[in-house]
Amino acid sequence: MSIEPRIGLLVGREWSFPPAFLDAVSRRQSGVTADYIKLDATRMGQAVPYTLIIDRISHEVGFYRTFLKHATRMGVTVVNNPFMWSADDKFYDATLAIQHGVAHPKTMVLPNKDYIPGISHTESLRNLAYPLDWRGVAEHIGFPCVLKDAHGGGWRDVYICQSMEELIHHYNNSGLLTMVVQEFIKWDAYVRCMVLGREHVLPMPYDPRERRYIPDPGYLSQELEARCVRDALTLCRALGYDMNTVEFAVKDGIPYAIDFMNPAPDMDINSLTPSYFEWVVEHMADLAIALASAPRPAVPAGPIITAPPVVAPIGAGPR
């Protein structure tokens, strides 16, 4: 049974983007409605009365992520795809970048420092080399370097290490987190690209030291901006993300993709500044209406498991 195009908005602690987005969708009078989705205990196989859900918070609420995977099974398009988001990490992204010809800082993933109580170091970790080859890490990555959570975001658990002592100190305090260590790019310019619908890119000059955007249309040369746009699209198309920010640290004219695991990018007016905020709201409204009207299924339409062909026993003939 088909339903009318309808957008559900799933949000957390953000107050400027959600009402602006809902208003932008309404103003278009496209025949597509949009509202805040309301969730409760959900039955298996339960229908979901939306054709599109915009997810801004499931990375912090496990129930939401589980529900969204169910929603995709029921034919709903979810932005962003909860299966890719659940599988993504910064080390995977590093390999993806170099495979697609996008410049990326040298990166290594490290074994966890600590483990849950049921893990035996002598039995459960028999495949793990010990001790960790810190010398090899330092020789490959160099100093300064960046140590950060492979699954983290929002600048949490990120450390700039100037020496081996600092690197080991922060690693020893990382607990159960899986950490990556990354070459530090001493950038000449820094830019965040908002990428929507795997088609539209807004390069935004950004100061990571003050964590603020800088409205400056002439910040990058045309050639450099074109490369950032091209690389940002390459990464988001490879990941299948319809909303994301891709951060580039530019050194000697080369944009290095520093971080692009931002499937719920900051869209607050106070962060983006009014001009960037308006671009994001209007483009998100257009994207959402298009996807709600022509859903993009995330799972196969047919059965996942099919019966094996019937094979006659050896020596059996027709009867």
Do residues 78 and 10 touch, judged by C-beta distance below 8 A? no
Peptide bond into 172 cis (omega under 30): no
Can you tell me whether residue 265 is helix, strand or coil?
Answer: coil
* pTM across the whole model: 0.90
Q: In what order do the strands lie in the sheet with 212-213?
A: 212-213, 200-207, 189-196, 243-251, 254-259
In sequence order, what DSSP letters do the residues of 131-175 get, joined into one string? S--HHHHHHHH-SSEEEEETT--TTTTEEEESSHHHHHHHHHT-T
Query: How many whole angstroms from its chain centre is CA 180?
Result: 16
Directed axis angle between helix 134-141 and helix 164-172, to 10°?
120
Look at the block and give the residue holding tokens 């330092």. Answer: 138
- What is the tens place of the pLDDT at every residue in 213-264? 988 888 999 999 999 999 999 999 999 999 999 999 999 999 999 999 999 9
CA angle 134, 139, 145 (to 5 degrees): 80
Q: How confident is the model at residue 304 (pLDDT cuts 50, 70, 90)?
A: very low
pLDDT-derived band at 1 (thresholds 50, 70, 90) equals low
The pLDDT tens digits of the residues spanning 117-157 come to 999 988 999 999 999 999 999 999 999 999 999 999 888 89
- Nearest-angstrom CA–CA distance, 311 and 142: 60
**Mutual angle of helices 274-293 and 17-27, in 10-degree steps:** 60
What is the Cα–Cα distance from 20 to 207, expressed in whole angstroms? Answer: 26
Q: What is the crossing angle of helices 222-239 and 90-99, to 10°?
A: 120
Higher pLDDT, 269 or 308: 269
> Which amino acid, one-letter code, is at 48?
V
Looking at residue 314, what is its pLDDT?
Answer: 46
Mean local confidence (pLDDT), 6-14? 97
